[in-house]
């Protein structure tokens, strides 16, 4: 029977995805970029919409929320998963509202006037059944997928507006977005890139080899030399893992030092981040913000005797406050950090902030 087969097939895929997420985060499995994760999540959500059993929008949203909670629990640091889920939930709300006939704009804005006149909580329970809802939602998710596929290129297209010739640009670690950004600019302009290697994973080495193969003058420096070299740098361009709701960043460790050094020398700090990295989280949650990996990256087991007597920390992420950031470049253009909250309200519905 097609029904149960589809369902088991679906659950299998979901389980496979979850185990991939769990493995990927610990650093042992293949490291995936955030774009890939976002695409896979969205594809999986489309599959759920297509194959799962639901009759009304509310059911669908419940199913997606449940799966979403499981996915974010598998790898809390991988925020793109949660972001995509929230996007899809917003899509469902929009499609539902459109099917019901009410205009989109009034639904989105929760003005004081609306609160007073509507008299109590809004009774949106999404219980109505619309035949065309499934098709509409799937179409909208396809649009989202196309958008995701084009993000890196959209960001790279803006490169020439920000990089002039004979510049010295600094970056840290490895970001595929920044890599394509710089390679695109290198086709027309000549400039010099300094890459901080970002110990202990030393992702910067791979970035440097890839950039130099594209013909860009690259220099690799140790993390300790960031401040020493900063006085000759014209711009700092970095990628990030997540953009937080207040405009701050959760980026690879060492980025806060880089941002402070740039601020000291009044060097602009540009963050290349596609929209799917924008997350409604705030940095206050201390226990969930940081992620640690095995300390043997920092102090290997060959050190033996002192290992048992010493505490070793190996955090993966750094928090960068929004005051240190000059500009965000995303697939929809450039923004100041103070504008991020507005973008958030366009992408996600406030009720979806907590899955």
**Shortest spacing between CB 255 and another protein, in angstroms:** 9
d(CA 126, CA 97): 9
Minimum CB separation of residue 323 from another protein in Å reads 11
What is the C-alpha separation between 109 and 86, in angstroms, rounded?
17
State in angstroms the smallest separation of the CB of 170 from another protein: 12
- Asked whether position 257 contacts another protein by CB under 8 A, the answer is yes
- In sequence order, what are the beta bridge partners of 330? 333
Give the C-alpha separation, 130 to 9, whole Å: 26
- Alpha-helical segments (H) within 101-232: 104-108, 112-118, 133-157, 159-162, 176-186, 203-213, 226-230
Q: Least distance in Å: CB of 283 to another protein? A: 13
* Interaction between residue 264 and another protein (CB under 8 A): yes
**Is residue 50 part of the contact set for another protein (CB under 8 A)?**
no
Q: How far is the CB of 115 from another protein (least distance, A)?
A: 40
How many residues form the binding site for another protein (CB under 8 A)? Answer: 50
Q: Give residues with Cβ within 8 angstroms of 74, minimum separation 6.
A: 18, 19, 21, 22
Please say which residue, 16 or 310, places its beta carbon nearer to another protein.
310
The answer to whether the beta carbons of residues 193 and 182 sit under 8 Å apart is: yes
Choice from 318, 328, 337, 348 touching another protein (CB under 8 A): 318
Least CB distance to another protein at residue 317 (A): 9
Q: Please, is 231 exposed, middle or buried when counting C-beta atoms within 10 Å of its C-beta (0-12, 13-18, 19+)?
A: exposed
Tokens 């994760």, residue located: 37
Question: DSSP labels for 160-178?
Answer: HHH--TT-EEEEES--HHH
Among the listed ranges 62-70, 74-82, 196-204, 337-345, the one in contact with another protein (CB under 8 A) is 196-204
Q: Which is nearer to another protein, 67 or 318 (CB)?
A: 318
Nearer CB in complex with another protein: 24/68: 24
Beta bridge partners of 217: 192
> Counting contacts by CB under 8 A, is residue 209 touching another protein?
yes
By CB under 8 A, residue 14 contacts another protein: no
> To the nearest whole angstrom, how small is the minimum distance from the Cβ of residue 190 to another protein?
11
- Give the Cα separation of 41 and 71 in Å (integer): 9
Angle between helices 79-100 and 34-51 (to 10 degrees): 40
- Binding to another protein by residue 254, rule CB under 8 A? yes
Q: Of 117-125, 143-151, 299-307, 336-344, which segment contacts another protein by CB under 8 A?
A: 299-307
Give the residue, chosen from 72, 80, 175, 253, that forms a contact with another protein under the rule CB under 8 A: 253
If one asks whether residue 77 binds another protein (CB under 8 A), the answer comes out as no
Out of 157, 314, 347, 355, the only residue in the binding site for another protein (CB under 8 A) is 314
Q: Applying CB under 8 A, which of residues 256, 335, 349, 353 lies at the interface with another protein?
A: 256
For another protein, which residue of 77, 212, 234, 246 counts as binding (CB under 8 A)?
212
Residues 121-140 binding another protein (CB under 8 A) are: none
By CB under 8 A, residue 213 contacts another protein: yes
* 275 CB-near residues (< 8 Å, 6+ apart): 151, 330, 331, 332, 343, 347
* β-pairing verdict for 327-330 and 269-272: parallel
Q: Does 290 bind another protein (CB under 8 A)?
A: yes
User: Residue 160 CB, nearest distance to another protein (Å)?
Assistant: 20
**Nearest CA-CA partner of 280 in 207, 216, 355:** 355
Burial 104-140 (b: 16+ CB within 10 A, else e): eeebeeeeeeeeeeeeeeeeeebeeebeebeebbbeb
Enumerate binding residues for another protein (CB under 8 A).
Answer: 197-202, 205-206, 208-209, 212-213, 215-229, 231-232, 253-254, 256-257, 260-261, 264, 290, 298-299, 303, 306, 309-315, 318-319
């Amino acid at each position: 029977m097609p029904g149960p087969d589809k369902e088991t097939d679906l659950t299998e895929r979901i389980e496979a995805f979850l185990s991939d997420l769990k493995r990927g985060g610990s650093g042992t499995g293949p490291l995936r970029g955030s774009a890939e994760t976002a695409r896979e999540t969205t594809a999986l959500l489309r599959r759920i919409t297509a194959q799962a059993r639901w009759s009304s929008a509310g059911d669908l949203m419940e199913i997606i929320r449940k799966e979403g909670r499981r996915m974010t629990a598998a790898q809390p640091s991988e925020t793109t998963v949660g972001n995509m889920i929230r996007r899809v939930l917003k899509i469902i709300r929009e499609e539902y509202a459109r099917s019901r006939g009410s205009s989109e704009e009034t639904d989105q804005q929760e003005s004081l006037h609306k609160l007073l006149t509507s008299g109590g909580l809004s009774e949106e329970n999404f219980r109505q059944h619309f035949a065309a809802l499934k098709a509409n939602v799937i179409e909208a998710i396809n649009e989202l997928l196309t958008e995701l596929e084009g993000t890196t290129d959209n960001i790279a297209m803006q490169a020439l507006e920000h990089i002039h010739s004979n510049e010295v640009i600094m970056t840290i670690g490895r970001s595929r977005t920044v890599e394509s950004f710089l390679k695109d600019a290198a086709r027309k302009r000549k400039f010099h890139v300094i890459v901080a290697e970002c110990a202990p994973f030393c992702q910067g080495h791979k970035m440097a080899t890839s950039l130099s193969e594209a013909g860009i003058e690259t220099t690799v420096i140790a993390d300790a030399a960031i401040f020493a070299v900063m006085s000759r740098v014209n711009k700092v361009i970095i990628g990030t893992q997540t953009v937080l709701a207040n405009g701050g960043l959760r980026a690879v460790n060492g980025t806060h030092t880089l941002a402070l050094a740039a601020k000291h020398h009044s060097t602009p700090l540009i963050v290349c981040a596609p929209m799917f990295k924008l997350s409604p989280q705030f940095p206050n949650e201390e226990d969930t913000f940081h992620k640690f990996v095995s300390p043997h990256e920092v102090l290997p087991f060959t050190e033996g005797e002192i290992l048992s007597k010493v505490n070793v920390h190996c955090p993966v992420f750094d928090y960068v406050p929004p005051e240190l950031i000059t500009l965000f470049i995303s697939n929809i253009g450039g923004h100041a950090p103070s504008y991020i909250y507005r973008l958030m309200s366009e992408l996600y519905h406030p009720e979806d902030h907590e899955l």
